[in-house]
Homo-oligomer: A and B are copies of this chain.
Amino acid sequence: MRFDGREKNALREIEVTPDYLMHPEGSVLIASGNTKVICSASVETKVPPFMRGEGRGWISAEYSMLPRATNTRNIRESSKGKVTGRTMEIQRLIGRALRAVVDLDALGERTIWLDCDVIQADGGTRTASITGAFIAMVMAIAKLDEEVPFTKFPVKDFLAATSVGVLEEGGTVLDLNYVEDSAAQVDMNIIMTGSGAFVELQGTGEEATFSETELAELIALGKKGISELIEIQKETLGDKITARIKGE
């Protein structure tokens, strides 16, 4: 049994509020336990300079935390005048992960901006951002699809992310909250599709290492968590959009 009463292989409670904001083409508030992230999707009818005229789309993500999303207040990146390495890593990861399940040719020459703003943090903000941003992105694309149906729906598969880790006492666990994450010897983020393929696997020993046996356990836990998250995504998006993604 864990600190917060969960089993080793249990996710925290997930709550998704779709259409959370009035302006964006797609938006959700996703809560994973006490971690809360506003994910919004904005459609822009142009692409970055290096892609112009190729007829392909682009998915770009940005990630930020409110200064007091955390236990002690952080200085704003806008005040510092630069984005930290951690933020860059996370927003590059979110964008890359989403692009793995999007047919950029089918999307056409558009950029979809995903803004993931953490309003409350309790561990797992990057994985919650990916899981939530996927929903917001699909909502925005479904809106385009309603206006002028895509010949081929640009989203090829579902996509969700979770974290797994190795605790000094307690072995491998699913979905670490902040207290567990701080104490973990090994921390791994897993991003998978609805059909069970890996999109990204990032395992890191924090002044520690991990064995092949531990790797196998971590992957098994991650698969379980992700399949539950994808069920929630399907419920939120509804049957019609789910069918479009499945190409039915």
Q: Is the CB of B203 within 8 A of A215?
A: no
Given A67-B113, A78-B77, does the pair A204, B40 have CB atoms closer than 8 Å?
no
Given A77-B78, A113-B73, does the pair A200, B200 have CB atoms closer than 8 Å?
no
Number of interface residues of A (CB under 8 A): 63
Q: Is the CB of A67 within 8 A of B76?
A: no
Q: List B contacts of A179 (CB < 8 A).
A: none
Does A175 belong to the interface (CB within 8 Å)? no
Q: Is the CB of B68 within 8 A of A42?
A: yes
Indicate with 1 or 0, residue by residue over A35-55, a CB within 8 angstroms of chain B CB atoms: 000101010100000000000
Q: List B contacts of A66 (CB < 8 A).
A: 38, 40, 115, 117
A115 to B, closest residue via Cβ = B67
Q: Is the CB of A42 within 8 A of B67?
A: yes
How many of these chains are in the complex? 6
Q: Is the CB of A38 within 8 A of B119?
A: yes
Q: Is the CB of B62 within 8 A of A23?
A: no
Does A27 belong to the interface (CB within 8 Å)? yes
Q: Is the CB of B200 within 8 A of A205?
A: yes
Does A144 belong to the interface (CB within 8 Å)? no
Nearest chain B CB to A185's CB is how many angstroms away? 10
Q: Is the CB of A67 within 8 A of B62?
A: yes
Does A69 belong to the interface (CB within 8 Å)? yes
Indicate with 1 or 0, residue by residue over A217-230, a CB within 8 angstroms of chain B CB atoms: 00100000000000
Q: List B contacts of A73 (CB < 8 A).
A: 24, 42, 44, 113, 115
In the assembled complex, 11 residue pairs joining A and B whose CB atoms fall closer than 8 Å, in A order, are A21-B69, A23-B70, A38-B119, A64-B78, A67-B115, A68-B113, A81-B82, A82-B82, A199-B205, A200-B204, A201-B201
Chain A: residues with CB nearer than 8 A to chain B?
Answer: 21-24, 27, 34, 38, 40, 42, 44, 62, 64, 66-71, 73, 76-83, 85, 87-89, 91-92, 96, 99-100, 104, 113, 115, 117, 119-120, 122, 188, 193, 197-212, 215, 219
The 7 lowest CB-CB distance pairs between A and B, nearest first, are A197-B209, A85-B88, A77-B78, A42-B73, A201-B203, A78-B78, A40-B68
